[in-house]
Structure 1
Amino acid sequence: MVELRHLRYFCVVAEELNLTRAAKKLFIAQPPLTRQIKQLEEEVGADLFVRVPRGLTLTPAGLFFYQHATQILSKVSVTLEETRRVAQSGKSVFGIGFVPSIFYGQLPSMVRRLRQKTKAEIMLYELKTGEQLEALKSGKIDIGFGRIHIKDDEIEQTTLFQEPMLVALPKGHPLANKPISIFDLAKLPFILYPAGQSPTFADICLELFVKNGLSVRVNQQVNDIQTALGLVASEMGFALVPEQVKRINRDDVEFVELEDKSLTCPVICSQRKEAHNDIMLSAINILNELVTNRTTGKYP
Structure 2
Amino acid sequence: MELRHLRYFHAVAETLNFTRAAERLHIAQPPLSRQIQQLEEELGVSLIERDSRPLKLTKAGRYFYQHTTQLLSQLGEISESTRRIGLGQRHWFGIGFAPSTLYGALPELIRALRRDAELDVGLTESTTLQQVEALKNGRIDIGFGRIIIDDPSVIQEVLTEDPLVAALPVGHRLIGEQVSLRELAREPFVLYPGRPRPSYADHVIEAFRSHGHPIQVAQFANELQTAIGLVTAGMGITLVPSVVQRMHRDDLVYVPIAESGLVSPIIMSRRRDDQSALLQSFVTLVRQHFAPPLAV
- Normalising TM by the smaller chain, what interval? 0.5 to 0.7
Distance in 2 (alpha carbons) for counterparts of 1:124 and 1:132: 11
Paired residues in the alignment total 216
Aligned to 2:37: none
- SS of equivalent residue, structure 2 residue 189: strand
Deviates more, 1:87-96 or 1:261-270: 87-96
Aligned to 2:103: 104
Distance in 1 (alpha carbons) for counterparts of 2:193 and 2:80: 30
TM superposition shift of 1:236: 1.7
TM superposition shift of 1:100: 0.8
Q: Which runs of 4+ in 1 moved over 3 A?
A: 80-85, 87-90
Distance in 1 (alpha carbons) for counterparts of 2:198 and 2:118: 35
TM superposition shift of 1:282: 2.4
Unaligned runs of 5+ in 2: 1-78
Distance in 2 (alpha carbons) for counterparts of 1:240 and 1:85: 45
Cα gap change, 1:228 to 1:289, in 2 (>3 Å): same
Distance in 2 (alpha carbons) for counterparts of 1:118 and 1:288: 23
Amino acid at match of 1:235: G
Distance in 2 (alpha carbons) for counterparts of 1:146 and 1:198: 13
Amino acid at match of 1:99: A
Amino acid at match of 2:192: Y
Cα gap change, 1:85 to 1:210, in 2 (>3 Å): farther
Residues 129, 196 of structure 2: 8 Å contact kept: no
TM superposition shift of 1:90: 4.3
TM superposition shift of 1:277: 2.4
Aligned to 2:264: 265
Unaligned runs of 5+ in 1: 1-79
Which protein is bigger by CA-based radius of gyration? 2
Cα gap change, 1:118 to 1:229, in 2 (>3 Å): same
Aligned to 1:126: 125
Amino acid at match of 2:119: A
Residues 142, 270 of structure 2: 8 Å contact kept: yes
Residues 187, 216 of structure 2: 8 Å contact kept: yes
Distance in 2 (alpha carbons) for counterparts of 1:149 and 1:179: 28
Amino acid at match of 2:163: P
Cα gap change, 1:271 to 1:108, in 2 (>3 Å): same
Aligned to 1:190: 189
Cα gap change, 1:265 to 1:172, in 2 (>3 Å): same
TM superposition shift of 1:204: 0.3
Amino acid at match of 2:247: I
Q: Cα deviation per residue 1:180-205 (whole Å; 9 max; x = unaligned)?
A: 10010011111111101321000000
Distance in 2 (alpha carbons) for counterparts of 1:256 and 1:85: 50
Aligned to 1:235: 234
- Alignment root-mean-square deviation, CA: 2.3
Aligned to 1:176: 175
Cα gap change, 1:150 to 1:85, in 2 (>3 Å): farther
Equivalent residue runs for 1:40-119 within 5 Å? 83-84=82-83, 86=85, 90-117=89-116, 119=118
Identity, in percent, stands at: 40
Distance in 1 (alpha carbons) for counterparts of 2:247 and 2:97: 17
Distance in 2 (alpha carbons) for counterparts of 1:117 and 1:179: 45
- SS of equivalent residue, structure 1 residue 94: strand
Equivalent residue runs for 1:158-173 within 5 Å? 158-173=157-172
Distance in 2 (alpha carbons) for counterparts of 1:97 and 1:127: 6
TM superposition shift of 1:176: 1.7
Cα gap change, 1:170 to 1:88, in 2 (>3 Å): farther
Q: Cα deviation per residue 1:63-92 (whole Å; 9 max; x = unaligned)?
A: xxxxxxxxxxxxxxxxx9984462599421
Amino acid at match of 2:221: V
- SS of equivalent residue, structure 1 residue 161: strand
